[in-house]
């Protein structure tokens, strides 16, 4: 990306929003298809003609790897952006699925400790992204499986939240805690944050249990359920091996079709 902007800004007050719709994809439970959902929804938005930026906020860098970028070879990442060492525009990489990426590295694991003593630490990401929001239509934030400072930064920076959740009863555990955190964020840090809905993932339509969980989840939490549910398929595991999303590696699969339909529904709403 050409044209570096002036040094990274720090602020203790809430900056003004402009430009892209920012959506966090979060669930503090691991293995719920957060990264798959970010990569697939991002590709679906790009197919629809939107300018899309994906941001990897997990030190495990799974999104970065999934999009064909070697985290060990990354020179400028979201870690440097959050620590104020570079502007966000200088960390952007263009990827094969028609999306841009701000990658992650393992060093991001230490960023939380460095952000803790900083005034206005919850607003660091929001402030850092503000200059590049006019360049995009949609920004998706792939959150780490925790409710720490980085996830709070994502919720403070976002206008919308999508909660991926497998169609298994045990996956309900912890969603209530996440929603308590969201309520605190809405009250104290970001009154504009809206829970867009629960995204059912790893859905097995042949399973009575999965059907029961799908029927229960919306009523249990009083939230919209983003449909259709994302089916369980080995195609999702194959895609990261070639650094692409399922929309590129298995275009006509049920999984690709489901993510396209969810993306279209979100665009209609937003």
Full domain range(s) for residue 33: 21-269
In a domain, 12, yes or no: no
pTM of the predicted model, to two decimals? 0.90
In a domain, 54, yes or no: yes
Residues 169-203 have pLDDT tens digits of 656 666 888 999 999 999 999 999 999 999 999 88
Residues 107-161 have pLDDT tens digits of 999 998 999 999 999 999 999 999 999 999 999 999 999 999 999 999 999 999 9
In a domain, 226, yes or no: yes
Give the alpha-carbon dihedral of 56, 59, 60, 65, to 10 degrees.
40
CATH number at 38 reads 3.40.50.300
In a domain, 185, yes or no: yes
Choice between 262 and 19, residue whose per-residue pLDDT is larger:
262
What is the domain count for the chain?
1
In a domain, 4, yes or no: no
Chain-centroid distance, C-alpha 81? 17
- Quote the pLDDT of residue 212: 77
**Taking 60 as the threshold, does the pLDDT of residue 213 lie above it?**
yes
| Phi, psi (deg, nearest 5) at residue 136 | -135, 160
In a domain, 11, yes or no: no
In a domain, 9, yes or no: no
Instruction: Return d(Cα 172, Cα 270) in angstroms, integer.
Output: 26
Share of the chain above pLDDT 70, in %: 90
In a domain, 119, yes or no: yes
Give counts: helices (H), strands (E), the chain.
11, 7
Contact 122, 3 (CB under 8 A): no
Instruction: Return d(Cα 90, Cα 80) in angstroms, integer.
Output: 10
């Amino acid at each position: 990306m050409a044209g570096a902007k002036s040094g990274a800004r720090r602020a203790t007050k809430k900056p003004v929003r402009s430009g892209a719709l920012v959506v966090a994809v979060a669930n503090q439970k691991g293995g719920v298809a957060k990264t798959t959902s970010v990569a697939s929804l991002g590709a679906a938005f790009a197919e629809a003609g939107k300018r899309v930026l994906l941001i990897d906020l997990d030190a495990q860098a799974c999104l970065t790897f999934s999009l064909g970028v070697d985290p060990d070879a990354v020179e400028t990442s979201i870690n440097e952006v959050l620590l104020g060492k570079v502007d966000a525009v200088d960390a952007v990489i263009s990827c094969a699925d028609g999306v841009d990426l701000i990658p992650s590295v393992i060093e991001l694991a230490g960023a939380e400790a460095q952000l803790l003593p900083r005034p206005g630490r919850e607003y660091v990401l929001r402030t850092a992204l503000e200059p590049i929001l006019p360049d995009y239509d949609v920004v998706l934030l792939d959150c780490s499986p925790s409710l720490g400072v980085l996830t709070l930064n994502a919720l403070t920076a976002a206008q919308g939240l999508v909660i991926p959740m497998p169609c298994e009863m045990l996956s309900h555990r912890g969603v209530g805690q996440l929603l308590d955190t969201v309520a605190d964020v809405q009250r104290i840090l970001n009154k504009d944050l809206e829970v867009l809905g629960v995204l059912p993932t790893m859905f097995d339509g042949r399973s009575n249990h999965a059907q029961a969980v799908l029927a229960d989840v919306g009523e249990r939490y009083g939230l919209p359920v983003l449909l259709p549910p994302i089916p369980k398929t080995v195609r999702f595991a194959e895609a990261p091996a070639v650094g692409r999303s399922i929309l590129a590696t298995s275009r006509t699969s049920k999984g690709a079709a489901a993510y396209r339909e969810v993306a279209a529904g979100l665009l209609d709403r937003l």
